[in-house]
Amino acid sequence: MNVAPRYLGRGSWLARRDPRVLILAIALFVFAVVQVWDGRLMVVLAVVAFLYYRTAGIPFRAVRYQWAYVLIFVGFIVTTNTIITGGELRGIDPRSVHTYFYLPLFGTPVSAESTSYAITQLLRFLSMAALGFPIAFAIGPSDIGPAFARLHVPDRFAYAIDLTFRFIPSLAGEMQTTIDAQRIRGYDYERVGRGPLGRIRRTVPVLVPVTINAIVGAEDTIDAMDLRCFGTGRRTWLRELVMDRTDRALLVGFALLFLLVTVLAFNGASNLWVFPFLIPG
């Protein structure tokens, strides 16, 4: 059974970096991009994010479904956010808005400004995802816990994060095993239904055994940790992490990027910029 995240970036340039750098890099990047509403600067930050992502050497074929889920989820969030705000944009005079049309039922105006807002927000979320994927796929599974512990995160939280990264693929493997076992007993998993509702219907019979097995496995882990007196004192980690010059240079680069973006945000980059090609002639 697969009990650890897939190490898809093994041997890549980014995988050879200290895992603490990957964690701090995304933190600095997130704090930088949340300040930006200028689409021009957001495009530059998106390019930086995806160039960084390419250095992880993660095969797209192996994560295409994950990227599909990210696109669907981000698209839903951006669309919902645009509808909920009703087209009202901070710092934009309603009289200067270039409206295309109004959405039926909702009455939300679709304009050059709201479209620019949605594009900028979409780029922001995708950029964050691009920096987040290497943490899941370019850090050795055994380095997750020590990385957070070396960042002075409490041992309980560091070990909880480590177990979470191991639990998700283990749960997926347990579910596949349960499906195979039920097929042997005559349950045709593929013919129950199609589409989203059909998938939910055919998943129901496997949820109970998978959930019970997950609870039993969690209790076994808790008992094993209690027997080893986990939490009674300071924990030591066998894995030693040492930053080299490249690690420090990469970390300094993201710190400088954060400072630069912060300065630009105070000088207008925090205001919405409308893409000129969206403004009607």
List % helix, strand, coil for the chain (3-state, nearest 5).
65, 0, 30
pLDDT higher than 80, residue 138: yes
Percent residues over pLDDT 90 in the chain: 33
Distance in angstroms between the alpha carbons of the first and the last residue of the chain: 60
Q: What is the pLDDT of residue 227?
A: 77
pLDDT higher than 70, residue 102: yes
Q: Note the maximum CA span of the chain.
A: 73
Average pLDDT over residues 197-225: 75
Q: What is the pLDDT of residue 180?
A: 79
Place of tokens 């400088």: 256
Q: Is 231 left (phi over 0), alpha (psi -120 to 50) or beta?
A: left
Token representation of residue 37: 């509403």
Greater pLDDT, 148 or 90: 148
Highest-scoring range by mean pLDDT, 11-20, 78-87, 248-257: 248-257
Which strand (E) or helix (H) includes residue 110? strand 109-111
Cα separation, 104 vs 239, whole angstroms: 58
Q: pLDDT (tens digit, 9 = 90+) per residue, 33-72?
A: 999 989 999 999 999 999 999 999 999 988 898 899 999 9
Q: Give the least confident one: 127-131, 132-136, 141-145.
A: 141-145
pLDDT higher than 90, residue 13: yes
Residue 234 near residue 4 (C-beta atoms within 8 A): no
Cα separation, 112 vs 103, whole angstroms: 14
What is the pTM (predicted TM-score) of this model? 0.79
Residue 161 confidence class, pLDDT cut points 50, 70, 90: confident
pLDDT higher than 90, residue 125: yes
pLDDT higher than 60, residue 240: yes
Residue 220 near residue 227 (C-beta atoms within 8 A): no
Q: What is the pLDDT of residue 225?
A: 77
Q: What is the pLDDT of residue 215?
A: 80
Residue 120 confidence class, pLDDT cut points 50, 70, 90: very high
Q: What is the pLDDT of residue 230?
A: 73
Average pLDDT over residues 203-210: 75
pLDDT higher than 70, residue 92: no
Q: What is the pLDDT of residue 3?
A: 42
pLDDT higher than 60, residue 184: yes
Which strand (E) or helix (H) includes residue 2? none
pLDDT higher than 80, residue 6: no
pLDDT higher than 70, residue 196: no
Average pLDDT, the chain: 82
Q: What is the pLDDT of residue 41?
A: 94
Token representation of residue 54: 């390419």
Q: What is the pLDDT of residue 4?
A: 45
Greater pLDDT, 218 or 127: 127
pLDDT higher than 80, residue 84: no
